[in-house]
């Protein structure tokens, strides 16, 4: 007996009792959908984090000013400016540091001709392009000379450049930031979100010296909002953090038993936390999926046993006219597998629908990959074999004489 024929019969048997078949399939459908979503969420979070790190640059930390725990009032983090450009340079000189950039931030109105937009303007140094993996779509980046001479030049994010210039070439054009004239020298190619810059497409980069003079008022002239540093290796991040703490405590003359007046934020740690949350969510879904698949599998076994009993006479007739025990075994086994595979396909379709719904919100990207589909299909087939085998074997062991007598 050929497999195509057995499959055709299996589908006919499934359609003979559609409601029962559908209810039987439900457990497997839910289980497979959960498993596929679990894999999609896992992949989605990994992709999200990879994308973040790609935009941000890897092995980065951020040093923020923090208030000292001195007697009296305690101000909010970042409101006092204890970090300076000189601190950044000192950090830059550390052997464990690949590069360090000081940052000044402001939110300003950007205008070109009649159009204007609001954007985050970040005053920084040329090293920011290296440590953050910033690529230029057109023009050039900030240079050391721009920083030392406080040039009025700006590098625009991709989206803000499009917003202001539409299809015209922005390079060399003059824009106004807070009513002060700047020349556009470059446009970034990067997309996506960064931890401290927000949407990279909406950022405007200017030399930190220019920002300090023209855009940002600080309590002390050399103060910066924060410093971003990159370690030379992924393993060296913690060592770098220790080095930075040491050099800053020394420079700020903090006594041994006093707390730091700065705070180190490890982006890698944040990414890891995100990953852990994602893994937890995926694990929970995977658990629901596994339970659902086992319960669904037991349901299939139950229904197959009922089906074998109901069709005892059919089995007898088939055996009488020449079905071998193995033919009967295959018939019922393939029926169980077919139920599971159809459930698997429905489950995959449902998870794809849910993924599309999540993607439509734009908050998070879920992709049901070929790998997830393959795993789900194999898994549902395996459940069919596992839970279908016993009923099928029971059918194959029936005696034709007794089956034909069965009413």
Partner 1 sequence: MLTDSTRTQDGNQRALIDVIDVKKSYVTNLVTTPVLHGVNFSMQRGEFVAIMGQSGSGKSTLMNILGCLDTPSGGDYLLDGKQVSALSRAQLAVLRNKTIGFVFQSFNLLKRMTIQDNVALPLIYAGVSRAEARRRASQQLENVGLGEYGQRQPNQLSGGQQQRVAIARALVADPPLVLADEPTGNLDTKTSVEIMSLLTRLNREAKQSIILVTHEPDIAAYASRLVRLKDGLVLYDGPAATGLQQMRSEQSEQELGMPANEVSE
Binding site for partner 1 (CB under 8 A): 1-2, 4-5, 12-13, 16, 313-314, 317-327, 399-401, 404
For the CB of residue 393, give the shortest distance to partner 1 in the complex, in Å. 13
Residue 386: count of CB within 10 angstroms of its CB: 16
Q: 158 vs 318, which CB is nearer to partner 1?
A: 318
Residue pair 153/146 in contact (Cβ under 8 Å)? The answer is: yes
Residue 181: count of CB within 10 angstroms of its CB: 10
For the CB of residue 307, give the shortest distance to partner 1 in the complex, in Å. 13
Q: 12 vs 371, which CB is nearer to partner 1?
A: 12
Return d(Cα 205, Cα 58) in angstroms, integer: 20
For the CB of residue 20, give the shortest distance to partner 1 in the complex, in Å. 14
Q: Count Cβ atoms within 10 A of the Cβ of residue 129 and give its class: 0-12 exposed, 13-18 middle, 19 or more buried.
A: buried
Q: 284 vs 320, which CB is nearer to partner 1?
A: 320
Torsion on CA atoms 331, 337, 341, 347, rounded to nearest 10: 130
Q: 248 vs 339, which CB is nearer to partner 1?
A: 339
Q: 1 vs 136, which CB is nearer to partner 1?
A: 1
Q: 288 vs 317, which CB is nearer to partner 1?
A: 317
For the CB of residue 301, give the shortest distance to partner 1 in the complex, in Å. 23
Distances (CA, A) of 371 to 28, 31, 128, 252, 278: 19, 17, 37, 54, 19
For the CB of residue 312, give the shortest distance to partner 1 in the complex, in Å. 12
Q: 13 vs 155, which CB is nearer to partner 1?
A: 13
For the CB of residue 396, give the shortest distance to partner 1 in the complex, in Å. 9
For the CB of residue 331, give the shortest distance to partner 1 in the complex, in Å. 11
Q: Count Cβ atoms within 10 A of the Cβ of residue 266 and give its class: 0-12 exposed, 13-18 middle, 19 or more buried.
A: middle
């Amino acid at each position: 007996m050929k497999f195509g024929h057995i499959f055709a019969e299996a589908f006919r048997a499934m359609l003979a009792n559609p409601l029962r078949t559908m209810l039987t399939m439900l457990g497997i459908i839910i289980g497979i959908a959960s498993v596929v979503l679990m894999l999609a969420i896992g992949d989605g979070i990994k992709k999200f984090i990879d994308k973040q790190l790609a935009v941000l640059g890897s092995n980065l930390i951020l040093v923020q000013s923090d208030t000292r725990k001195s007697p009296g009032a305690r101000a909010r983090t970042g409101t006092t400016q204890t970090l300076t450009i000189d601190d950044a340079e000192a950090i830059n000189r550390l052997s464990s540091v690949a590069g360090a950039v000081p940052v000044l931030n402001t939110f300003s109105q950007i205008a070109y001709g009649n159009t204007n937009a609001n954007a985050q303007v970040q005053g920084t140094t040329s090293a920011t392009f290296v440590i953050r993996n910033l690529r230029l779509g057109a023009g050039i980046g900030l240079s050391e000379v721009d920083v030392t001479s406080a040039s009025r030049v700006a590098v625009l994010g991709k989206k803000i450049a499009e917003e202001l210039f539409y299809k015209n070439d922005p390079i060399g054009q003059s824009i106004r930031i807070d009513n002060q004239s700047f020349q556009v020298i470059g446009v970034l190619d990067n997309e996506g979100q960064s931890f401290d810059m927000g949407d990279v497409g909406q950022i405007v980069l200017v030399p930190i010296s220019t920002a300090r003079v023209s855009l940002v008022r600080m309590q002390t002239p050399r103060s910066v909002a924060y410093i971003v540093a990159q370690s030379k290796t992924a393993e060296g991040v913690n060592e770098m953090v220790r080095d930075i703490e040491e050099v800053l405590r020394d420079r700020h003359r903090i006594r041994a038993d006093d707390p730091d007046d700065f705070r180190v934020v490890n982006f890698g740690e944040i990414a890891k936390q995100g990953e852990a949350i994602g893994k937890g969510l995926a694990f929970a879904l995977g658990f629901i999926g596994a339970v659902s698949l086992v319960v669904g599998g037991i349901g299939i076994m139950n229904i197959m046993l009922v089906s074998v009993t109901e069709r005892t006479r059919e089995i007898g007739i088939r055996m009488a006219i020449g079905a071998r025990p193995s033919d009967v075994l295959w018939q019922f086994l393939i029926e169980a597998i077919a139920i599971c595979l159809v459930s698997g396909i429905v489950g995959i379709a449902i998870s794809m629908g849910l993924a599309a719904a999540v993607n439509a919100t734009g908050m998070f990207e879920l992709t049901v990959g070929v790998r997830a589909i393959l795993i789900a299909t194999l898994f549902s087939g395996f459940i069919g074999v596992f839970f279908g085998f016993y009923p099928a074997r029971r059918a194959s062991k029936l005696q034709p004489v007794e089956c034909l007598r069965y009413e």
